Structure 1
């Protein structure tokens, strides 16, 4: 009996030691032996040309890093305005056996804008290469720092055209609705349909640039917006579009196209509907003289569209009212006085200013689309 007990104890101890031994054999330590070294920049200075955005501008080459165990290594090329890289910007990430990366005029100009270089002014751009393992960027090692002088050009921000089932225009790209653009911001007040999909185009056609959410499952070429309002999401089983989940109504869509920011915000308009029995014009138009109690009624065409025809002088200014008073229903030129062709509600508008020549003009206001037109007839 005692022998059996000793045998069982011996076997148990042997098994435990064996398991420990196996675990020890599976622990592998990987150390960085040498960091990557930037060997060459194809230029010491760059004067970027907006007329040739696709032309080659710069090639960066480096010597590979070394680790104590053969493994897949990735490289991240970073730039900054200072040699200490207080705010580094990732120019590119390269995996596998590549030891060089090439960049176009447009890519380098976008990169210069991202780190805050001033257009048309020559300034120093610092560059380094970081090696790492895996998606967690473990065992990172940093190269030496090198630099070049860069003269960027004035950045041109993209145009955004709205199209899709959630929109006023439907899925016809030739009718896609352009947003009003002012430098890095594009915006519009327009009606959106709950539960429907949409996207932004960079042109009045499917072929070319398409813009959607930068989220897993969206086609790589369509990924653009880095942050978005919570009423937007990626549709199930759809790799190209955006789904609008808010309540149906008029929203202000605001896009910030600043490189690296690239946000889209939706905020419901203070005038959330578009179809009114009657709307009016008030201003120095058709003898009104800014008398709101005698505001001029427009003809209702239907579905939020209204028209009025009159002779217009060179100093014409007017606004649109939903009542014969200065009440809450008030529209004008978006974000201030002017003639942009886009309407904004009370609190975000100014007078519509138009230089006529005394001829007859048709004024068309489309509150569903968020636009107006003044056409000579």
Structure 2
């Protein structure tokens, strides 16, 4: 009986070892892809996107089921690219389970096209593919479909208008006085005063809500995260703001709001000051004579004004001396002639051009804020 008992124990131990080995073998599964996730159809071969109907359905993409040697929960990633090699893919979206059809609106397609660098109002090409993958972040791509091309004409995106507010700015913390930046397409600029080691942020309106823009990183409020790239003199400050760490003075702020960029650069202005004893106006109204300019009155530090007639072809600049020296301001950005309401220093400006009626106008320039206004009197 004792020998039989020993034999039974040995047999039981052996069976347990085989069972454990079998369990381990079952945990190491080899999943082999048996068919790719092939894009079956694009609902359109050519798209002309109309900015008047951003919520309209534009494109539907469908594909068949990827098959694997083991039952596997798959996810699918839909990607677009401006080139057939997908060197810089744009993720349109991800789906899981049995879903094998996705649809995109006019606005979504336009965002994809512009993010990938297609030119507004010009016909271009987008390429699409679908990848099946395993894992939460798509780290295990199991197969990729064939590539399908779409001809598309995008429209110009409407980029945010940024309003500067905060302790570092000329506006202070008064949202009603927040300073808008000069915007041209995806780029926004201003030459303005910044106080060192003080916080600020951007609003999307002259109010605290609904839009706020700050650095896109952990610790910033989720709905305030925007700037993916920031210059070295900006750091996060609390959950709402960023802080300017440079020396107090005049700076050029440049924002690229392109979806794939969303950057902000702050660099020193070539004219560091903003409060001068005298500011003059020179242009078509005085024959462009810098030695005999029109003197502007200083109404407060950095703010100057003059009342003068302006005709239909009026052009002028502001100078800080009675000659064409370093102190010069005109319409913001190099060779940008017009009436933007923003001043740029020498080397980065054009003439202010204003169509007047020959009557009197009050011209006010605020060098600290980086703005000017022309108001009929």
- Under a length normalisation based on structure 1, what TM-score does the superposition of the two structures give? 0.81
1:321 equivalent to 2:319? Answer yes
The CA distance in 1 between the partners of 2:302 and 2:119, in whole Å, is 44
Instruction: Judge conservation of contact 2:330–2:350 (CA < 8 Å) in 1.
Output: yes
Q: Which aligned pairs between 1:55-66 and structure 2 lie closer than 5 A?
A: 55-63=56-64, 65=66
Distance 1:30 1:162, change over 3 A: farther
Which residues of structure 2 form unaligned runs of 5+? Answer: 1-20
Q: Which aligned pairs between 1:334-373 and structure 2 lie closer than 5 A?
A: 334-335=332-333, 336=335, 337-373=337-373
Instruction: Judge conservation of contact 1:32–1:141 (CA < 8 Å) in 2.
Output: no
The CA distance in 1 between the partners of 2:173 and 2:63, in whole Å, is 47
In structure 2, the residue corresponding to 1:155 is in which secondary structure? Answer: coil
Aligned to 2:330, which of 329, 332, 336?
Answer: 332
- Answer with 117-126 or 162-171: which moved more: 117-126
Number of the residue aligned with 1:90: 91
In structure 1, the residue corresponding to 2:201 is in which secondary structure? Answer: strand
The CA distance in 2 between the partners of 1:193 and 1:30, in whole Å, is 61
Q: Which aligned pairs between 1:131-280 and structure 2 lie closer than 5 A?
A: 131-134=132-135, 135=137, 137-236=139-238, 238=239, 240-280=240-280
In structure 2, the residue corresponding to 1:234 is in which secondary structure? Answer: strand
1:296 equivalent to 2:325? Answer no
Number of the residue aligned with 2:8: none
The CA distance in 2 between the partners of 1:259 and 1:206, in whole Å, is 23
| Residue 124 of structure 1: how far off its partner (Å) | 4.2
Distance 1:108 1:294, change over 3 A: same
Instruction: Judge conservation of contact 1:56–1:103 (CA < 8 Å) in 2.
Output: yes
In structure 2, the residue corresponding to 1:126 is in which secondary structure? Answer: strand
RMSD: 3.2
Distance 1:149 1:339, change over 3 A: closer
Number of the residue aligned with 1:9: none
The CA distance in 1 between the partners of 2:145 and 2:346, in whole Å, is 56
The CA distance in 2 between the partners of 1:133 and 1:111, in whole Å, is 25
- Answer with 190-199 or 104-113: which moved more: 190-199
Instruction: Judge conservation of contact 2:131–2:141 (CA < 8 Å) in 1.
Output: no
Cα deviation per residue 1:288-337 (whole Å; 9 max; x = unaligned)? Answer: 44333333332111131111112223333322122223222111111233
| Residue 376 of structure 1: how far off its partner (Å) | 0.9
Distance 1:84 1:250, change over 3 A: same
Which residues of structure 1 form unaligned runs of 5+? Answer: 1-20
The CA distance in 2 between the partners of 1:328 and 1:365, in whole Å, is 17
| Residue 111 of structure 1: how far off its partner (Å) | 1.2
In structure 2, the residue corresponding to 1:362 is in which secondary structure? Answer: strand
Number of the residue aligned with 1:46: 47
- Answer with 64-73 or 323-332: which moved more: 64-73
The CA distance in 2 between the partners of 1:357 and 1:98, in whole Å, is 64
Number of the residue aligned with 1:80: 81
- Answer with 44-53 or 121-130: which moved more: 121-130
Number of the residue aligned with 1:4: none
Q: Which aligned pairs between 1:121-132 and structure 2 lie closer than 5 A?
A: 121-132=122-133
Instruction: Judge conservation of contact 1:298–1:308 (CA < 8 Å) in 2.
Output: yes
Distance 1:266 1:30, change over 3 A: farther
The CA distance in 2 between the partners of 1:40 and 1:206, in whole Å, is 46
- Answer with 363-372 or 344-353: which moved more: 344-353
| Residue 370 of structure 1: how far off its partner (Å) | 0.4
Instruction: Judge conservation of contact 1:233–1:244 (CA < 8 Å) in 2.
Output: yes
Distance 1:27 1:168, change over 3 A: farther
Number of the residue aligned with 1:15: none
The CA distance in 2 between the partners of 1:185 and 1:146, in whole Å, is 32
The CA distance in 2 between the partners of 1:149 and 1:94, in whole Å, is 24
The CA distance in 1 between the partners of 2:353 and 2:310, in whole Å, is 11
The CA distance in 2 between the partners of 1:70 and 1:273, in whole Å, is 70
| Residue 250 of structure 1: how far off its partner (Å) | 1.4
